[in-house]
Amino acid sequence: MSEAMRGGPMKPCGGRKPILPPLGGMDDPDSLYHHMQRYLLSLVVRGQSQHTAASAKAALTRFIRWSEERGLAKPREIDRPMVELFQESLFYHRKKNGEPLAARSRQFLLIPVRQWFGWMVKQGNLPYSPASELELPRVPRRLPKAILSSQEAETVLAVPDVNTAVGLRDRAILETLYSTGIRRTELTRLTFQDIDRDRGKLMVREGKGKKDRMIPIGDRALAWIAAYRDRARPELLRDKLDVGALFLNSLGNPIRPFHLTMLTRRYITRAAIGKEGACHLFRHTCATVLLEGGMDTRYIQELLGHASLESTQIYTRVSIQKLKALHTAVHPGRMPTGGMQ
């Protein structure tokens, strides 16, 4: 089998990203392109998020381009061996830096293809799905790269200059991330109506999977949010129309996820604690601190908005504080009371 047919190994490319030609088959209602367009519309109609639809479009566009390069323009021209060849091409593909695609990245590109063909079968466009038996790459469940200790978290929280509007806002943001463990996108969607200070609760609207959840938030985080609301937010808003977003950027607009990543990474770096990370580092830290404090994993699952308990149980592998204490107490190789002898 030729490397051209299987799609690899590809040489790393440099320079600007090439401008790709439009997909073919725009005049043919039975083309891969039009079947993709109808599928993407069905995702929106079924209430899938814009992120899900955009990810599916990117993956299917890649598959259609790959198919067109091999003279395949319609769904019925795709068989199981061709789908497997596409999977193999992803395995051999190399990014600009010469590294292969991670197993998770290949999964993200293959799952939409499998779902798309399954949808076409249900619509009566295909007698069977050539991707129904596609075996996805196995993604290893790795531990978070870093977790902050309580002292390290406090060090990071103390970095922003709270005498400025931006610094006070940033302290309130970091306190909220640390107290609740919410995702960065969830934080950008917060409004004042989502904060229940009297009950110490925070409403996360349309979290992952478009699910709402009510979670606790600590008194200290609430106090910093109140200080930001009274002293910093009016200065950031200036004469802009107030759309109700809780956290604003320096121009008075709702803060964006990318901005959150940049500011949290900057404060972690400036804290000089020898660890790297951004918003998700606080999410990991929040979960680990609560687990070490004795909170049941099912409560942590609800707090983080995990669909499966399996996602939450990874923190039981991170949190070894109690295991270390027991090991020190009962292991025969522990240090004698008098020190080394």
Q: Are residue 156 and residue 55 in the same domain, yes or no? A: no
Residues 158, 298: one domain? yes
281 and 156 both lie in a single domain = yes
**pLDDT per position as a tens digit, 208-229:** 767 788 888 999 999 999 999 9
CA dihedral for 23, 25, 29, 31, sign (positive or negative): negative
Per DSSP, what are the bridge partners of residue 254? 248
pLDDT of 335 > 80? The answer is no
Q: Which tokens belong to 113?
A: 């293809």
Q: Which residues lie across from 94 on neighbouring strands? A: 100
Give this prediction's pTM: 0.64
Same domain, 118 and 207: no
Specify the amino acid at residue 233.
R
Tell me the DSSP string of 256-282.
PHHHHHHHHHHHHHHTTSS----HHHH
The DSSP H or E segment spanning 285 is helix 279-292
Closest listed residue to residue 313, CA positions, set 292, 327, 325, 298: 298
CA R_g for the chain: 25
338 assigned to some structural domain: no
Regarding whether 200 and 115 lie in a shared domain, the answer is: no
Q: Are residues 113 and 173 in the same domain?
A: no
Q: Tell me, yes or no, whether 238 lies in a domain.
A: yes
Domain CATH number, residue 90: 1.10.150
Mean pLDDT, range 104-126, rounded to an integer: 95
pLDDT at res. 19: 65
Q: Is the pLDDT of residue 4 over 50?
A: no
Residues facing 203 on adjacent strands: 214
Same domain (yes/no): 117, 163:
no
Please tell me the distance from the alpha carbon of residue 304 to that of residue 281, in angstroms, as a whole number: 13
Both 232 and 305 in a single domain? yes
Residues 171 and 73 in one domain: no
In a domain, 171, yes or no: yes
Number of domains in the chain: 2
Domain hosting residue 116, numbered range: 3-14+22-122
Q: Which tokens belong to 33? A: 């392109």
Tell me if residue 185 falls in helix, strand or coil: helix
Q: Would 145 be classed as within a structural domain?
A: no
Tokens of 105: 């990245």
Residue 132 falls inside a structural domain? no
List pLDDT tens digits, range 156-173: 999 999 999 999 999 999
Residues 74 and 182 in one domain: no
User: Are residue 107 and residue 166 in the same domain, yes or no?
Assistant: no
The answer to whether residue 93 sits within a structural domain is yes
Q: pLDDT at position 12, please? A: 41
CATH number reported for the structural domain that contains residue 162 in this entry = 1.10.443.10
Q: Do you know the residue count of the chain?
A: 341
Q: Please give the positions annotated as active site.
A: 183, 208, 280, 283, 306, 315
Stated as kind and residue range, the H or E segment containing 289 is: helix 279-292
Residue 158 maps to a domain = yes
Q: Are residues 157 and 304 in the same domain?
A: yes
pLDDT digits (tens, 9 = 90+) for 48-95: 888 889 999 999 999 999 999 999 999 999 999 999 999 999 999 999
User: 152 - beta bridge partners?
Assistant: none
Q: Over 80: is that where the pLDDT of 313 sits? A: no
CB atoms within 10 A of CB 109: 21
* pLDDT surpasses 80 at 37: yes
- The answer to whether residue 339 is domain-embedded is no
